[in-house]
Chain A
Amino acid sequence: MAVSSRRLQKELTEIKTAGTPCGITLLKADDFQTWFLSLEVLGESQYKGEVFALMFRFDPQYPISAPAVQFVVDDKYKAPLHPHVYSNGHICASILGGEWSPVLSVIAVCITLQSMLASCKEKKRPPDNDRYVAHAPDNPKKTRFVYHESDSAAAP
């Protein structure tokens, strides 16, 4: 079995035996290409009562290469209104780009995004949302986001 499948199998086993952290639920993981998880911020936050869904896409180089991660935008789910989240669901977070490490797992990424939402002070879109969304590639990994030192999503 390839390293990527072996690793994802272990992550899945851990989710099924140890469970997921509060506010994170596995929705669908039928293969080693695409997984869906739901995410909500518990306690007091800008997103009280809102439930989001995350889509993870893995390539054969996972976990050396980062998964492509985005919020699901469809009839049921919307992308959270956040300065680092575009309305098409793409997320500007350094851990999903240049600071990715195989030390991070699917659950670790969910926890980081959960805390990114929890620490949000003002619900708004990134300043270039409309322009970005008009030209964005299907896969957010193909975007070279520019991160800021103060980026709250930079590290868990």
Chain B
Amino acid sequence: MSDPNNPPSEPVPGDLSGEPPKLAKTLKDLPEDDTEPPAWATTDQAAAAAEIAQGGAFEPPPGWTITEPTELSTLGPSTLFNMNEATIEDTIPKDRPLIAPLAPMAVLRAEYENGNTIFVKQIDWLVDKGYKGVRRTRGDGDCFYRSLAFAYVERIMHSDDPELNVMRAISTLETTPAMLSSVGFQELVFEDFFDIFKNLIMRIVQPEPGKSRLTARALFDTFNNPEESNSIVMYLRLLTSAQIRLDPEEYAPFLFHPEIGEPMETVTFCENFVEAVGKEADHVQMTALTRALRVNVNVAYLDGHAHKDGEIDVDFVQFENAPEPEDPITLLYRPGHYDILDNRDQESLTLEPL
């Protein structure tokens, strides 16, 4: 499991990877979040092949995992046993929260100070442009959907006219269950997810029974409650899938298998890389979801590359779908991972009485 929040210059205890994030030129070329095989995976395979060629069953050392398609029959029983053990460990909750409190950009900068100087300069460039804070998300493959959902709700909450913006959001959202039904999703599959998302937005202006109106603290807690947080992520996945399925001619030319690069059928792509839990979003999913939600989203692309002339800035990939002019939600992209950028460097998350 790679965690791009922890760059190679400063491995954090408990982070098993520590391998450098791979760089890619365009969003399309980017590796899938958290499923990217570490650099040693190929060595691992070569070693396995050599061992097997010599007539022995390959036993990877402790801590190694099998990341590439491998015949189970070529693995020794203790490998299988270790794989089982590793999977049991995976079920232990990770210490990184689903959504972290806002942190000053200096925290992000500090991670790169002993490493890639271009990253440091790109971070400084973002700070100069007014992006003072970063809110991190867990690198679990759901980070794009979770980042967007959080920033979407938070922005309505902090807007000048929350009543109006809640009304707008709800009127867009209320058209979406029919979209999901029309592409064949059963109501029982999505209605609970929809209710959780809609009720959270309604709570900005209208307290729920036994609960206050939505506060920064309540929003933070909701997004860190796996049941509610993952339900919202799932609704956005199904909405993304419905958007793609309803307009196959628009999206079909861009549907490629993220690992092998082969063109894919719309339905297969949606089932395997949109609706499945933990599958990272790429440009296609981002286009579809921002259209369905009718929002403007800018993605700041922190890639560690300087321009040919040596100048260092940050490219933004823009998704413009809002019916009326509005400032975009800004996400920070580092290869394989999305976080949220903010023009504040901290927030108050004091516990408030109900």
Contacts of A142 in B (CB 8 A): 84, 87-88, 91
Q: Are A3 and B185 in contact (CB under 8 A)?
A: no
B275 interface hit (Cβ, 8 Å): yes
Contacts of B87 in A (CB 8 A): 141-144
Q: Are B227 and A103 in contact (CB under 8 A)?
A: no
A124 interface hit (Cβ, 8 Å): no
Segment from B65-73, B101-109, B118-126, B207-215 that makes contact with A: B65-73
Q: Give CA–CA (A155, B264) in the complex, Å.
A: 14
Query: Smallest CB-CB separation from A136: which chain B residue?
Result: B84
Q: Are B277 and A102 in contact (CB under 8 A)?
A: yes
Task: Please give the distance in Å from B126's CB to the nearest CB on chain A.
Answer: 33
Q: Are A146 and B72 in contact (CB under 8 A)?
A: yes
What secondary structure prevails in chain A residues at the interface with B? Answer: loop
Q: Give CA–CA (A137, B90) in the complex, Å.
A: 15
Q: Give CA–CA (A121, B231) in the complex, Å.
A: 40
Q: Are A100 and B72 in contact (CB under 8 A)?
A: no
Q: Give CA–CA (A103, B188) in the complex, Å.
A: 9
Answer whether A155 and B271 are a contact pair too, CB < 8 Å, given A100-B277, A102-B277, A103-B238: yes
B80 interface hit (Cβ, 8 Å): yes
Query: Which residue of B77, B86, B276 is within 8 Å of A135 (Cβ)?
Result: B77
Q: Are B276 and A146 in contact (CB under 8 A)?
A: no
Q: Are B238 and A155 in contact (CB under 8 A)?
A: no
B83 interface hit (Cβ, 8 Å): yes
Query: Which residue of B72, B77, B277 is within 8 Å of A127 (Cβ)?
Result: B72
Task: Please give the distance in Å from B73's CB to the nearest CB on chain A.
Answer: 4
Query: Smallest CB-CB separation from A147: which chain B residue?
Result: B69
Interface readout for B265-287 with A: 1 if CB under 8 Å, 0 if not? 00010011001111000000000
Contacts of A131 in B (CB 8 A): 76-77, 80
Query: Which residue of A105, A126, A137, A146 is within 8 Å of B69 (Cβ)?
Result: A146
Segment from A7-15, A39-47, A73-81 that makes contact with B: A7-15
Q: Are B84 and A101 in contact (CB under 8 A)?
A: no
Answer whether A103 and B189 are a contact pair too, CB < 8 Å, given A135-B80, A135-B81, A143-B87: yes
Q: Are B234 and A64 in contact (CB under 8 A)?
A: yes
A30 interface hit (Cβ, 8 Å): no
Contacts of B234 in A (CB 8 A): 64, 102
Q: Give CA–CA (A99, B272) in the complex, Å.
A: 6
A132 interface hit (Cβ, 8 Å): yes
Q: Which one of A6, A131, A137 has the highest number of Cβ atoms from chain B below 10 Å of its Cβ?
A: A131
B230 interface hit (Cβ, 8 Å): yes
Q: Give CA–CA (A128, B83) in the complex, Å.
A: 15
Q: Are B188 and A61 in contact (CB under 8 A)?
A: no
Query: Which residue of B65, B84, B276 is within 8 Å of A137 (Cβ)?
Result: B84
Answer whether A146 and B227 are a contact pair too, CB < 8 Å, given A102-B277, A132-B80: no
Answer whether A148 and B88 are a contact pair too, CB < 8 Å, given A3-B192, A99-B272, A102-B277: no
B186 interface hit (Cβ, 8 Å): yes
Q: Are A102 and B189 in contact (CB under 8 A)?
A: yes
B115 interface hit (Cβ, 8 Å): no
Query: Smallest CB-CB separation from B274: which chain A residue?
Result: A101
Task: Please give the distance in Å from A50's CB to the nearest CB on chain B.
Answer: 25
Q: Are B231 and A3 in contact (CB under 8 A)?
A: yes
Contacts of A6 in B (CB 8 A): 192
Contacts of A3 in B (CB 8 A): 192, 196, 227, 231
A-B contact pairs, 18 of them (CB 8 A): A3-B227, A61-B226, A64-B231, A101-B237, A101-B277, A103-B185, A103-B238, A126-B72, A127-B72, A128-B80, A131-B80, A135-B80, A142-B84, A142-B87, A143-B84, A146-B70, A146-B71, A155-B272
Residues of B within 8 A of A (CB): 65-66, 69-73, 75-77, 80-81, 83-84, 86-88, 91, 185-186, 188-189, 192-193, 196, 226-227, 230-231, 234, 237-238, 268, 271-272, 275-278
* New contact pairs (18) apart from A99-B272, A102-B193, A131-B76, CB-CB < 8 Å: A2-B227, A3-B231, A14-B188, A63-B189, A98-B276, A98-B278, A101-B237, A102-B275, A102-B277, A126-B72, A127-B71, A128-B75, A132-B72, A132-B80, A143-B87, A146-B69, A146-B71, A155-B272
